[in-house]
Structure 1
C-alpha cells in the first residue's frame, strides 16, 4: 500500500514545484504547507491501510491544496479511554498539527448498540445514564490531551495557530431522528450482502452465539455518522483501527452513493505485545488515561517497563519527536541499556501529553522515592499521591499519644504478629519508617522525624510489605 502512496507522490511534480516556490516566500508557510500531507506519517508506522486505492493521487492533492476535515470515533463503553486509544488520538493530533480540522466523535448512541468488531460475544448492555456519564468522562480525557498538546508540544501558536479540535456526540442527532426516517434515508441504500461480507459479521455468524440484529445494525449507524459529519462539516476522511475497516467501507459507500463524492478511510495498526495482548491491556488490566483509575505513577511506569525491543516503535508512534532525534535516543540507549534512557524519554513525553506538567512531576517524584534511593523526596508527596501509589497497602488510623514508640506504632498498624516478632525484625534492620531504616524498637515517635508533612507515615517491613498510618489528633 505505501509503495503506491510513494509512487503517487512522485507523480505530482507541480506540487513539489509549488512547495519550492512558497519556501522562498515564507519559510513558516513552507513548513506548515508541506506538512499537510499526513500520508508521510507512514514513516512512523502510523498507517496500516488506506482506501480506496484509486483515490491516492486525489487525496494527496487535496491534502496539500487545503485543510481537510478528518474524524475518529470513540464509543464510551467505559468511563475512561486507555492507552490503546492513544494511537488514534495521536493520528488526530498529527492531522491537527498539519493544519487540518479534526473531529473527535463520542458515540453516545452507538455505545448503547455495541460494536461487534473483534468480539466473540455481544457486549453487556449499558444503561442510558451509564453511557451519559461515560461520555462526559471521555470528553474530559480528549479535551485534556488536546489542551496539553497545545500547551506543551506546539511551539508555533503565534505564527501558526492550531485549528481547534471539535467534539461531537452522535446521540445529539439520533435522538432527533425517527426510526422510519433513518431507514428511509439511510437504510435503503445499504446492501445486506455487503454487510454480511464484513469480517466482524461473518465471524460472529459462525459462532455458537450468533449475532443480534442490534449489533448487525452497528455498521449502518457508523456509516450514517460519517454522512452526517460530511453534510455538516464536509468531513471526507475517517481514521480508525484496522478492525474498523468494514464499518468504514460502509460509510465510504454511503457517502459516495448519496453525495457523489469520494471519501477516504485511513486505518492505524492494532498493536499487540509479544504475548498477543492488545497494547495496554495485558492480563485484562487496561492502563487508563484517567488518573483516578490508573495513577500517574503507574501510567509512567507502564512505559518505563517496556522491553528494549519495543521502545523504538512506540517512540515513533506515540511521540512527536523527529525521527532523527529518535535515532539518536536509541543510539545512546544501546550503549547503556540498563539506564533505560529510551524508556525514560518515552514515559516523559506521553505522561506530559496525557497528564500535563503536574502529572509528570508527580510520577517522577514517586519514581524517585521508590527507585531512586531518595527518601527525602517522600516529604514532597501529597496525601493523594501517597495513597494512590500504595493503594494496596494496609492502612490504619492512629492517635499520636505521648510516649508512643516505634514498636507500639508497628503493632497497632498490624505490621507484626506480636511484640517479640516485631522487636526481632526491627533490631535486625528489616523495618523502615518513611523509607529510612529504624533499628531501635523503643525509640519514641517524633512528629518532625517520623510523620510526613501530609500527616501520614509510610511503614515498610522487608522489601515489599507497606503500611500507611493516618495520624489523628
Structure 2
C-alpha cells in the first residue's frame, strides 16, 4: 500500500477537500506544513462496544487509510478505557457499561478487522493501541492533577456533546462528563510517546479533539492538529451507529457481503457521488465521471452499481463480487439460474428464504405441493397455485410451461438445489439432501 505519489505529504489535504471530507479543522496551512515536514503519525479512535465496526466507522477507517497512503503512519486507538465509560457525543441517553472481558474480546475482533483496511508493515505501518494500558495505572489524584487541572469546567460545558445532554431531562452523569478528559489525555499520551501530531474523526468528535489539542498545548507547549469529516448519515438524517437502529456491519457474519451490496445498490441517486468520494479509493475524477454518467440515465442505476461494487470490494475483497452479482442477476435480472455456479446457489441459500428437504420428498413431487408446503408457503394453498399457475415458477420456468411435470432429477441444479418462485420478487431455495 504505497499510495498515489500525487497525494504524498500534504497532498492528502487537497484530496480530502475534493472528496468533501473536511468539516472542522485547526489551521490547515500549519497542518500542511507539518505533513510536508515528514511522516506525521495520525490517530483515530474506535469504540469497542461491539465486536464489529459498521459502515458509519468506514469513513474514519478510510481517513486513516488515506493518510497512510500519503506516507503518514496510522494509529488506531481501540479504547478499552473510554469504552468502559461511553462517549456521550451524539447520544440522547447513557450507554450501558460493558465488563472488561467483553471489551477485550471486542477490541481483539476490531483490531483484526482493521487489518483488512490498513497496512501494518512498512515505513508507514499502522499500529493498534488500547488506552486502558496507560489509563488504568493512573490514580484518581494523579489524573486530576495532571489532566483535570488543565481543562476548565466552562470549556467542557461549552462543548455541543455536553450542552445537548444537559438540555434533556435525563441530563449527563459525571462518568460520561469525564469522557472528554480521558480522550484529551489519549492525545497527550500519543503525542508524547508516539510523536502523534494529528487526530482525525467524525464531526461529532470535534469538541473532544479540541480538548486534547488544548491539553497538549498547556502541558507541553507543542502545537498539534485536528481534522473532522462530516458524519455519514441515513436518509432520515440519523447517523450510523451500533445503538442507532439497524446497521450495516463490516463483519460478514453480521451483514453478509450480498446484503451490503444490495444496500448500496438501493441508495438514493443523490447519495451516489458523495458516498463514492467519501467511502472508497476510487479517484476523484472517476467518481465525478460516474456521477455525471448516472445523471444522464438514472433509471439504469449504473451509479449505484459502481458504488455497490466499489464498497463491496473495499470491505470484503474483489473476490466477493462475482457470486453476489450472479445471485442478484438471478433474482432481479435475467440470468438463467441453470448457468450459475454452486457457490452462487450456496450464497442464495443464505440470502433468500430457504429450507432443506429429503431427496425422496422432492423427486416426483408435484410443484404445487412444494409451493404450498409448510416452511415454503409461496402459495397459500395448492388450489391457489393451480388457479394462477403463471404466477409461480420452478427454476425460473413458469408452471404452465412445465405441463404438470413432477420434479425430476434433471430439475435439481448441481444435483441438489431447486428454486421456487412467486412473481418476480418472492423466492424459496430448497437444498436437497440424501
TM-score of the superposed pair, with normalisation by structure 2: 0.89
Compute the displacement of 1:102 (Å): 0.7
Mapped to 2, the partners of 1:77 and 1:329 lie a distance apart of 36
* 1:37 matches 2:11: yes
Compute the displacement of 1:183 (Å): 3.0
2:68 counterpart residue number:
96
**Secondary structure of the corresponding residue to residue 120 of structure 1:** coil
C-alpha distance after superposition, 1:18-67 (max 9, x if no partner): xxxxxxxxxx999367553332121221110112x4xx433222211211
Deviates more, 1:437-446 or 1:228-237: 437-446
* 1:72 matches 2:44: yes
CA contact (8 A) 1:329 1:342 kept: yes
**Secondary structure of the corresponding residue to residue 187 of structure 2:** helix
2:351 counterpart residue number:
389
Residue of 193, 203, 219 corresponding to 2:154: 193
1:46 counterpart residue number:
21
* 1:210 matches 2:171: yes
CA contact (8 A) 1:366 1:381 kept: no
Residue of 82, 86, 98 corresponding to 1:114: 86
Structure 1's 283 and 461: CA in aligned 2 closer, same or farther, altered over 3 A?
farther
CA contact (8 A) 2:77 2:128 kept: yes
CA contact (8 A) 1:405 1:441 kept: no
* 1:165 matches 2:140: no
1:57 counterpart residue number:
29
Mapped to 2, the partners of 1:294 and 1:357 lie a distance apart of 17
Aligned length: 427
Deviates more, 1:173-182 or 1:317-326: 173-182
State the Cα RMSD in Å: 2.8
Mapped to 2, the partners of 1:120 and 1:368 lie a distance apart of 42
2:291 counterpart residue number:
330
C-alpha distance after superposition, 1:141-194 (max 9, x if no partner): 2111236xx9xxxxxx9xxx6722211122233343333433333233322222
1:359 counterpart residue number:
320
Compute the displacement of 1:363 (Å): 2.2
Compute the displacement of 1:458 (Å): 2.6
TM-score of the superposed pair, with normalisation by structure 1: 0.82
List structure 1 segments (4+ residues) > 4 angstroms apart after TM superposition: 32-35, 279-283
Compute the displacement of 1:459 (Å): 1.7
CA contact (8 A) 2:79 2:130 kept: yes
Mapped to 2, the partners of 1:34 and 1:129 lie a distance apart of 40
1:86 counterpart residue number:
58
Mapped to 2, the partners of 1:127 and 1:259 lie a distance apart of 34
**Secondary structure of the corresponding residue to residue 197 of structure 2:** strand
**Secondary structure of the corresponding residue to residue 293 of structure 1:** coil
- Report 1:242-261 matches (<5 A): 242-261=203-222
Structure 1's 187 and 377: CA in aligned 2 closer, same or farther, altered over 3 A?
farther
* 1:420 matches 2:395: no
* 1:298 matches 2:259: yes
Compute the displacement of 1:451 (Å): 4.0
Structure 1's 450 and 468: CA in aligned 2 closer, same or farther, altered over 3 A?
same
Q: For structure 2, which runs of at least 5 residues remain unmatched after alignment?
A: none
Structure 1's 441 and 410: CA in aligned 2 closer, same or farther, altered over 3 A?
farther
1:8 counterpart residue number:
none
* 1:266 matches 2:241: no
* 1:457 matches 2:418: yes
Deviates more, 1:132-141 or 1:377-386: 377-386
Compute the displacement of 1:452 (Å): 4.2
2:95 counterpart residue number:
123
Residue of 215, 234, 241 corresponding to 2:195: 234
